[in-house]
Amino acid sequence: MTTPELDRPVVARLSTLDRFLPVWIVAAMVAGLLLGRLVPGMGPALDAVAIDGVSLPIALGLLIMMYPVLAKVRYDRLDTVTGDRRLLLSSLVLNWVLGPALMFALAWLLLPDLPEYRTGLIIVGLARCIAMVIIWNDLACGDREAAAVLVAVNSVFQVIAFAALGWFYLTVLPGWLGLPQTDLDVSPWQIAASVLIFLGIPLVAGFLSRVLGERAKGREWYETRFLPRIGPFALYGLLFTIVVLFALQGEAITSAPLDVARIALPLLIYFFVMWFGSLVLGRALGMGYERSTTLAFTAAGNNFELAIAVAIATFGVTSGQALAGVVGPLIEVPVLVALVYVSLALRRRWWGVAS
What SS3 string covers the chain?
CCCHHHHCCCHHHCCHHHHCHHHHHHHHHHHHHHHHHHCCCHHHHHHHCEECCEEHHHHHHHHHHHHHHHHHCCHHHHHHHHCCHHHHHHHHHHHHHHHHHHHHHHHHHHCCCCHHHHHHHHHHHHCECCCHHHHHHHHCCCCHHHHHHHHHHHHHHHHHHHHHHHHHHHHHHHHHCCCCCCCCCCCHHHHHHHHHHHHHHHHHHHHHHHHHHHHHHCHHHHHHHHHHHHCCHHHHHHHHHHHHHHHHCHHHHHCCHHHHHHHHHHHHHHHHHHHHHHHHHHHHCCCCHHHHHHHHHHHHCECHHHHHHHHHHHHCCCCHHHHHHHHHHHHHHHHHHHHHHHHHHHHHHHHCCCC
pLDDT of residue 261 exceeding 70: yes
In the predicted structure, residue 65 carries a pLDDT above the cut 50:
yes
Question: Does the pLDDT at position 225 exceed 90?
Answer: yes
Q: How confident is the model at residue 5 (pLDDT cuts 50, 70, 90)?
A: very low
What average pLDDT does the segment 208-220 reach? 94
Contact 11, 19 (CB under 8 A): yes
> What does the pLDDT read at residue 9?
47
Of the ranges 41-45, 47-51, 52-56, 111-115, the best mean pLDDT one: 111-115
**Least confident segment among 26-30, 56-60, 231-235, 247-251:** 247-251
pLDDT at 168 over 80: yes
Q: Mean pLDDT over all residues of the chain?
A: 85
Summarize pLDDT for 312-329 with one digit per residue, the tens: 778 876 688 888 987 888
Q: What pLDDT, in 10s, does the model give residues 268-306?
A: 999 999 999 999 999 999 999 999 999 999 999 888 877
pLDDT confidence of residue 14: 54
pLDDT for 16 beyond 70: no
Please tell me the predicted confidence (pLDDT) of residue 352: 79
Calpha distance 113→118 (Å, rounded): 9
pLDDT digits (tens, 9 = 90+) for 33-47: 888 778 777 767 776
Query: Quick one: average pLDDT of 80-100?
Result: 92
Q: Which of 93-97, 306-310, 336-340 has maximum average pLDDT?
A: 93-97
Instruction: Tell me which fold the domain 13-347 belongs to.
Output: Na+/H+ antiporter like fold (1.20.1530)
Inform me whether the pLDDT recorded for 243 exceeds 70.
yes
